[in-house]
Structure 1
């Protein structure tokens, strides 16, 4: 996977060659980088967020719940299936104290539709308390598209679809190139 510069060259990660930069077609908040698959509804999103001053597992739950809320998942329509800590020796980012990996599931409707799709959510949470920052990387992988959804024929069917191992490579390659992105350190 080729290296891609993110956030004005302050961060980099290896990304699949089959990505489309969503900022070329719509407005993206300054704290996000959003990439979509060329042939499916899969996406990879990088977010620089305020540090959640809780235990690692609680912070992961806070971020997952916030993502479920922003995706419009109703209460009871999201769950964490598995989570684990990633060993620092498997990462390129030296500045993080803890990195967590999680797989979850959300039932969400696209746009304002009523048909709910099942999305497998993979999260990488990089904890940077010295910068009062969490970096959240999410991989959204549709696994069951409702026939009434506008995305109905968008399930990845090609060998080019992103897989869990691709996302883990993205997480392993994530690097901070300029700590100035976090502002002055207190």
Structure 2
């Protein structure tokens, strides 16, 4: 794991050292920080989104998981495995704000191919009401790569401890400055 600054150091988090910054190889929106594993199609995405007022805190995890399923054209190919409210012990540098985590699975076709890959999705939502911002952290971990998928040549050869990695990232997630929010 390596300490990684996000948004010019406004946030710091430890990211696995085998993940590279996607901005080095493709355009990434200003509201995102994206990291790609050098070992397959795993990715970590940090997103700043306008807080959706009409979504209650208790429904935020389901809302964003479903939103991702729609973006992945996986509405009918997704399953929620667990939803938990996080404590300040889970994210010690983010005390006093609502934090929730959802773990699920989606069958996703890359580049709109017909072959669907089974991807475990680990997602955390941090609700910053004063900044009217939802921070969404997502780790995508392919579990089954369809042999006809364009991802097949990069299929992981060993299982990964993604839940432990994700929990470690949440524990080290640290807002250093609110200047990011204007």
Specify the TM-score bucket, using the shorter chain as the normaliser. Answer: over 0.9
1:57 aligns with 2:51: no
Q: Secondary structure at the match of 2:112?
A: coil
Q: Secondary structure at the match of 1:105?
A: strand
The aligned residue for residue 170 of structure 1 is 169
The normalised TM-score by structure 2 is 0.93
Are the equivalent residues in 2 in contact too, given 1:88–1:98 (CA < 8 A)?
no
Q: Secondary structure at the match of 1:67?
A: helix
Show structure 2 runs of 5+ residues with no match. Answer: none
Q: CA RMSD in A?
A: 1.6
Are the equivalent residues in 2 in contact too, given 1:78–1:105 (CA < 8 A)?
yes
The aligned residue for residue 149 of structure 2 is 149
Q: Quick one: distance in 2 between partners of 1:96 and 1:33? A: 24
> CA offset at residue 95 of structure 1?
5.4
Q: Write the mapping of 1:64-79 to structure 2, written as runs, cut at 5 A.
A: 64-73=65-74, 75-79=75-79
Are the equivalent residues in 2 in contact too, given 1:93–1:175 (CA < 8 A)?
yes
The normalised TM-score by structure 1 is 0.91
Q: Quick one: distance in 1 between partners of 2:153 and 2:12? A: 32
Write out the 4+ residue segments of structure 1 that deviate beyond 6 Å after TM superposition. none
The aligned residue for residue 48 of structure 1 is 48
> CA offset at residue 138 of structure 1?
0.3
